[in-house]
Chain A
């Protein structure tokens, strides 16, 4: 299986006034690969460095050292982004556009032919259940609706690799199930999904492999079923154990 995402010895430092040496290490020596056709869950507590890693993959942040590539192309090349779909963690899309116009705009950037684009917009809006609101301005959307517009936008170019930063945040239980279904469907179509999440139950059901990041360092990485077998407990307990959390009752 060829590696779609390859991260080697990645280190990212942010300038910071709080720490004594003037910088803060957000990601520290991370090695990670995601194979073609895999659904990969990227886990870790708040501030672990998940978003930072994804920012490197998209070329928003340059690594202090180490390297990253998508489809075998260094992430600094814009071509690396032709076949990916990306959902940022917090975003306000252009509020003065409707969902339909937003998708049309992004579709133009991918040079999708007009007829094809309209068809795709129809089917994607149906998929994320925004059909009823497609002509409304995004500023009138609820948070969950905005999140759905974000997911729609990530799918517009029919990408082979999806990088989703907390795709289910802000969604109701039905919305979450829907996202889970979308991910499952993408997997069946042979797509690769790399996503971060705090919903461990959900991750356990949809992911082939997971990695747990803590304070910028990779703690655990492996197939979900292997991990569950080795640790003899569910993902949530593994997660808590790995980050060294002791429940107050246990103490």
Chain B
């Protein structure tokens, strides 16, 4: 299982670094980060903070775009190019394929995160002359764990929706929606009439709360690191949802006809 999944993951990563569009995002973000870092606004706290906010926002947007678009493409491309046939004719099951694609996309997004955060760390460190590495590492970790959940979710979508573009769009709306309003849903629920109130509350408890993983504010305001326990709980929570999405993907994919 692990052997096959890693072989598939290796192919995903190989494809990514041989594709040009991946570099575009990468270079773009690095460039903007550097540019922002070079502008001379010394001794102005507000501008330094503003700068960090923009950089982090860029990192979040780019990482989500990379994770969602690459994942959404994987299985549909295998089917469209018919590469899935010689692959599944080997002693490799559909479960191995799903897990391998997940690992590949997750590692690839992790790799890009490391580069993004490295840039961020250098740029902000150079301006503020302080290196709060622990909270950066926490941010990186939480961000990466969140991407596991995102990748697994998009993988499920890629089997349920026909076109990768519609899957990407739906997933983006879902993710951004949760990030923006997820934490307020229960407060909204209280103000609503009864049937809808219960529905909104159920949604609040059912959706994966991606916003837990977003500690940008704390970095911007130079707050101390969060507790390791909170990190651990967040990790377990994300693993739970990731496993749920992966198993669901496998169950749907197992029954799917490959020739339709």
* A positions within 8 Å CB-CB of B: 14-15, 55, 58-61, 78-79, 81-82, 84, 86-88, 90-97, 101, 105-106, 108-111, 150, 153-154, 157, 163
Q: Which of A82, A91, A106, A157 contacts B85 (CB 8 A)?
A: A91
User: Is B224 among interface residues, defined by CB-CB distance under 8 A?
Assistant: no
On whether A78 and B15 interact (CB within 8 A), knowing A86-B86, A88-B85, the answer reads no
Q: For the complex, what is the distance from the CA of A220 to the CA of B13, rounded to whole Å? A: 49
Task: Give the number of chain B interface residues (Cβ < 8 Å).
Answer: 25
Q: For the complex, what is the distance from the CA of A90 to the CA of B257, rounded to whole Å? A: 18
Q: Which B residues are in CB contact (< 8 Å) with A84? A: 89
Interface pairs (17), CB distance under 8 Å: A61-B258, A61-B259, A78-B92, A81-B90, A86-B85, A87-B86, A91-B82, A91-B86, A92-B82, A94-B15, A96-B15, A97-B14, A109-B7, A109-B87, A109-B91, A150-B86, A153-B86
User: Is B40 among interface residues, defined by CB-CB distance under 8 A?
Assistant: no
Q: Which of B11, B89, B260 contacts A81 (CB 8 A)?
A: B89
Q: For the complex, what is the distance from the CA of A106 to the CA of B257, rounded to whole Å? A: 23
B86 A93 Cβ-Cβ under 8 A: yes
Q: For the complex, what is the distance from the CA of A106 to the CA of B92, rounded to whole Å? A: 10
17 other A-B residue contacts (CB within 8 Å) besides A108-B3, A109-B3: A55-B259, A60-B85, A61-B258, A88-B85, A90-B82, A91-B85, A93-B83, A93-B86, A96-B14, A96-B15, A97-B11, A105-B7, A109-B4, A109-B91, A111-B3, A154-B86, A157-B90
Q: Which residue of A lies closest to B7 (CB)?
A: A108
Q: Which A residues are in CB contact (< 8 Å) with B225? A: none
Q: For the complex, what is the distance from the CA of A153 to the CA of B4, rounded to whole Å? A: 16
B202 CB → nearest A CB, Å: 36
Q: For the complex, what is the distance from the CA of A136 to the CA of B183, rounded to whole Å? A: 51
Q: Which B residues are in CB contact (< 8 Å) with A82? A: 91
Q: For the complex, what is the distance from the CA of A93 to the CA of B89, rounded to whole Å? A: 14
Q: Which of A91, A92, A94 contacts B11 (CB 8 A)?
A: A94
User: Is B76 among interface residues, defined by CB-CB distance under 8 A?
Assistant: no
Q: Which of B11, B87, B93, B259 contacts A78 (CB 8 A)?
A: B93
User: Is B18 among interface residues, defined by CB-CB distance under 8 A?
Assistant: yes
Q: Which residue of B lies closest to A12 (CB)?
A: B259
Q: Which A residues are in CB contact (< 8 Å) with B87? A: 109
Q: For the complex, what is the distance from the CA of A81 to the CA of B86, rounded to whole Å? A: 11
Q: For the complex, what is the distance from the CA of A82 to the CA of B7, rounded to whole Å? A: 16
B96 CB → nearest A CB, Å: 9
Q: Which B residues are in CB contact (< 8 Å) with A92? A: 81-83
B85 A58 Cβ-Cβ under 8 A: yes
Q: Which of B81, B88, B92 contacts A60 (CB 8 A)?
A: B88
Chain B window 5-40, contacts with chain A (Cβ cutoff 8 Å), 1 for yes, 0 for no: 001001100110011000000000000000000000
Q: Which B residues are in CB contact (< 8 Å) with A79? A: 91
Q: Which residue of B lies closest to A83 (CB)?
A: B91
On whether A110 and B90 interact (CB within 8 A), knowing A55-B259, A60-B258, A96-B18, the answer reads yes
A103 CB → nearest B CB, Å: 11
A2 CB → nearest B CB, Å: 21
Residues facing A in B70-106 (CB within 8 A) are 81-83, 85-93
Q: Which 9 A-B pairs have the closest CB atoms?
A: A86-B89, A108-B7, A88-B85, A96-B18, A92-B81, A109-B90, A91-B82, A82-B91, A60-B258
